[in-house]
């Protein structure tokens, strides 16, 4: 018993010595990045990390972040949420209570951003999710913001685009019922589609659960339903499987998607099957101009591929955070006070001109911005097709 106790105590002591000094009170601006580096959507995590590191590079080369005439060093705390809701919550709690970050950027997917936002809001720490489009992420949470449009906007955009482009009246939806983002968006799409084409015009509303790989029975049902188009708001790894299986079952009508398709890896996994398909998203890399192009070129040069929407949105979110910290104008060293100040500054930003477009923020901390319809070209690039503004 005594031996065990001794071992335990010595372990604790060593642990304490090795842990980074959380007591020292040098005034560092700590920004937490809550990203899915492993798990179902690792490419999303990679884009987040790379964009954040590029931002940090800029700050470092400027000698720190200038706040109220004084330069402060910035530190990024990048943590992996394994693209799981419970891990995202854990990561947020750890970053807030142990690392004492001032502001959190992330999580990206709604199924993590919604529960993690709850934690951030409870601890009164400002959080901005660059990519989460589900309304629940920021709803009634004064400390939670986002950098992208919402699904109640994206659903109608996707529905109206199909209507205008193809003139179809019967649509099918295939979505993951266990994930917040696809589920929410599928329902918003259905609502918008039935509003335009009458009740019952979504002829098949089929679902599956996360990690499923075989969609043959759902797709067979969809084909039988006589639908003219398939809308599937899924993440990039599922898109590859769904599109291929649909083609193998004899489906040769259009398949459309949403911003979750926009990953840099979609085409790599999906191949020729995805060429010529449309999806709604935040920005189009091919043919971009100005600051957007500068960002794309720099990212491409550094990491060897064209950044996807997650990278661009994370970049914008960090710029918004930077602007908020600077307009707050001081770092007191009292982290709770600083968090509150940064939140107020974030809420005070009414307009922002980012690389993913101009945004105006509403009372809830949600931006109003334009969506882009992208076509996957025969070279596998994301081509700008048209822009839809609210």
Partner 1 sequence: MVFFFQNLINALQWGSFYALIALGYSMVYGILMLFNFAHGDIFMVGAYIGFGVATGIAALASLGAIVLPNWLILVLTIIISMFLTSFVGILVERLGYRPLREAPRASAAITGLMIGIILETGNLALLGARRVRFPSLIESATYNIGGVYVTNKKIMIVGVSLMLMLALHQFVRRSKYGMAMRAMAFDYVVVPLMGVPINTIAAMTFAIGSALAAAAGILFGIAYPVLDPYMGIVFGWKAFVAAILGGRGSILGATLAGFLLGFIEIFVAMIFPSTLRDFIAYSIILLILTFRPHGFFGEPYSARLRL
Interface residues toward partner 1, by CB under 8 A: 37-40, 42-43, 45-46, 177, 206-209, 211, 213-214, 216-218, 220-221, 224, 237, 240-241, 244, 247-250, 265, 268-269, 271
Nearer to partner 1, 207 or 377 (CB): 207
Q: Is the dihedral of CA 134, 135, 140, 143 positive or negative?
A: positive
Nearer to partner 1, 264 or 371 (CB): 264
Question: C-beta of 218: minimal distance to partner 1 in Å?
Answer: 5
Nearer to partner 1, 195 or 211 (CB): 211
Return the SS3 of 373: strand
Provide the phi-psi class of 64: left if phi over 0, else alpha when psi is between -120 and 50, else beta.
Answer: left
Question: C-beta of 10: minimal distance to partner 1 in Å?
Answer: 27
- Alpha-carbon gap, residue 34 to 127, rounded angstroms: 10
Pick from 322, 345, 253, 349: which is nearest to 31 by CA?
A: 322
Question: C-beta of 224: minimal distance to partner 1 in Å?
Answer: 5
Question: C-beta of 367: minimal distance to partner 1 in Å?
Answer: 30
Nearer to partner 1, 35 or 128 (CB): 35
Question: C-beta of 248: minimal distance to partner 1 in Å?
Answer: 5
Nearer to partner 1, 253 or 293 (CB): 253
Secondary structure of 79-90 in HEC code, one letter for each residue: EECCCCHHHHHH
* 8 A C-beta contact, residue 275 and residue 380: yes
* 8 A C-beta contact, residue 375 and residue 277: yes
Give the count of alpha carbons within 13 A of 116, CB side only. 39
Phi/psi for 104 (5° steps) reads -115, 135
Question: C-beta of 108: minimal distance to partner 1 in Å?
Answer: 14
Radius of gyration over every alpha carbon of the chain, rounded to an integer in angstroms: 22
Nearer to partner 1, 190 or 339 (CB): 190
Q: How far is CA 13 from each of CA 4, 99, 157, 260, rounded to the nearest angstrom?
A: 14, 20, 58, 46
- Residues in the chain, overall count: 390
Nearer to partner 1, 206 or 366 (CB): 206
* 8 A C-beta contact, residue 306 and residue 285: yes
Return the SS3 of 303: helix
Nearer to partner 1, 139 or 211 (CB): 211
- Alpha-carbon gap, residue 138 to 184, rounded angstroms: 14
Nearer to partner 1, 178 or 347 (CB): 178
Question: C-beta of 348: minimal distance to partner 1 in Å?
Answer: 38
Question: C-beta of 111: minimal distance to partner 1 in Å?
Answer: 16
In sequence order, the β-bridge partners of residue 129 are 146
Nearer to partner 1, 42 or 64 (CB): 42
Question: C-beta of 321: minimal distance to partner 1 in Å?
Answer: 26
Question: C-beta of 38: minimal distance to partner 1 in Å?
Answer: 4
Pick from 260, 236, 303: which is nearest to 109 by CA?
A: 260
Return the SS3 of 283: coil
């Amino acid at each position: 018993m005594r031996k065990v106790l001794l071992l335990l105590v010595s372990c604790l002591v060593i642990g304490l010595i090795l842990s980074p000094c959380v007591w020292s009170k040098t005034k560092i601006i700590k920004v937490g990045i809550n990203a899915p580096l492993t798990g179902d959507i690792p490419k999303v995590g990679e884009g987040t990390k790379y964009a954040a590191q590029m931002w940090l590079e800029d700050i470092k080369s400027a000698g720190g972040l200038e706040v109220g005439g004084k330069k402060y060093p910035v530190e990024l705390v990048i943590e992996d949420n394994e693209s799981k809701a419970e891990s995202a919550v854990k990561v947020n709690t750890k970053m807030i209570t142990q690392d004492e970050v001032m502001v959190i950027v992330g999580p990206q997917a709604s199924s993590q951003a919604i529960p993690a936002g709850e934690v951030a809001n409870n601890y009164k720490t400002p959080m901005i999710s660059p990519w989460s489009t589900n309304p629940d992420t920021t709803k009634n949470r004064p400390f939670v913001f986002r950098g992208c449009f919402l699904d109640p906007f994206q659903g109608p955009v996707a529905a109206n685009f199909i209507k205008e482009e193809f003139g179809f009246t019967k649509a099918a939806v295939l979505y993951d019922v266990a994930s917040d983002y696809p589920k929410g968006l599928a329902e918003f799409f259905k609502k918008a589609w039935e509003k335009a084409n009458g009740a019952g015009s979504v002829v098949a509303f089929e679902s599956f659960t996360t990690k499923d790989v075989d969609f043959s029975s759902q797709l067979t049902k969809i084909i039988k339903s006589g639908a003219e188009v398939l809308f599937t708001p899924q993440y990039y790894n599922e898109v590859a499987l769904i599109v291929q299986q649909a083609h193998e079952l004899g489906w040769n009508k259009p398949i459309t998607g949403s911003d979750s398709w926009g990953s840099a890896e979609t085409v790599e996994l999906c191949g020729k099957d995805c060429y010529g398909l449309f999806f709604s998203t935040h920005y189009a890399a091919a043919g971009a101009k100005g600051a957007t192009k500068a960002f794309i070129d720099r990212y491409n040069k550094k990491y060897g591929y064209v950044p996807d929407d997650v990278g661009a949105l994370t970049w914008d979110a960090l710029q918004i955070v930077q602007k908020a910290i600077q307009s707050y104008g001081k770092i007191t060293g009292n982290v709770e006070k600083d968090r509150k100040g940064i939140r107020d500054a974030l809420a005070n930003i009414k307009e922002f001109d980012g690389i993913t477009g101009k945004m105006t923020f509403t009372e809830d901390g949600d931006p109003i911005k334009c969506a882009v319809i992208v076509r996957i070209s025969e070279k596998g690039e994301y081509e700008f097709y048209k822009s839809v503004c609210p």
